[in-house]
C-alpha cells in the first residue's frame, strides 16, 4: 500500500488491520473521498 510506505518513509508507523482494509476498499469503490481517507490515516498512525 503506497500510503503505508509514504508514512514509513516520513517516520510514522502504520499497522494494517481489518479497519485499514475497509477504508481502502471504500476509497477504491468511491464510497468515501480522499479527504475522509486522509483523516482516517491521521487517526490510524502512531
pLDDT in tens, 3-46: 778 888 998 877 778 888 899 899 999 999 999 999 998 888 86
The Cα–Cα gap between 18 and 10 comes to 23
40, 23 Cβ separation under 8 angstroms: yes
The Cα–Cα gap between 23 and 36 comes to 9
The alpha carbon dihedral of 43, 16, 27, 31 has a sign of negative
**Domain ranges within the chain, ordered by starting residue:** 2-44
- Entry pTM: 0.69
7, 43 Cβ separation under 8 angstroms: no
Amino acid at each position: 500500500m503506497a500510503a503505508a510506505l509514504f508514512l514509513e518513509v516520513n517516520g510514522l508507523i502504520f499497522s494494517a488491520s481489518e479497519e485499514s482494509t475497509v477504508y481502502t476498499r471504500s476509497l477504491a469503490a468511491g464510497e468515501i473521498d480522499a479527504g475522509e481517507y486522509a483523516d482516517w490515516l491521521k487517526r490510524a498512525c502512531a
